[in-house]
Amino acid sequence: MAKITDITPTGVWNDLHKYEVTMDDGAKGTAFAKTSPPWYSVGDEVEYTLNPKGNMKISKGTAPYIGGGSPAPARQYVPSKGGSKDEQIARSVAFKGAIDLACAGMIDVKDICPFMKTHLPYILGEEESGGSSYKEHFSEESPF
């Protein structure tokens, strides 16, 4: 890791902003960024790679966060309620679907939890959803 000591704008190339970046270890290269100013700044401690052409790639994962402090440690997946990772993904997708239905006005926000309790066992393959059949749910004849 090295600290950025200087950033000098050098123009634009294909919608990317070009910068001449100097590190405290003496390395100097051309870095590209989508924004001006770039997400990194003088004083940031970053990792970088420098190719033979002199282009520098600065790794975003090591830059400080805008709010200050250090980045959060990497998290490892730990299933809650003893469920497998697949079950947790299914629960998340079902919850997202219920929220989408509420946003579309198809169910009330207060009905998200009852919706989940009714439909989640079916999604997880545990039992039929609410005991209702297709014909009970859709009483009219299909035009197809």
Phi/psi at 23 (5° precision) = -105, 160
Any residues with CB less than 8 A from the CB of 99 and at least 6 apart, and which? 112
- Is residue 53 located within the same domain as residue 97? no
Range of the domain at 33: 2-62
Residue 74 falls inside a structural domain: no
In angstroms, rounded to a whole number, what is the distance separating the alpha carbons of residues 87 and 110?
24
pLDDT tens per residue across all 144 residues of the chain: 888 999 999 999 888 999 999 999 889 999 998 888 888 889 888 889 988 888 999 886 544 444 444 444 444 444 455 567 778 888 888 888 888 888 888 888 888 888 888 887 777 777 654 555 555 555 666 665
Domain membership of residue 72 (yes or no) is no
19 domain residue, yes or no = yes
Q: Is the pTM of this model over 0.85?
A: no
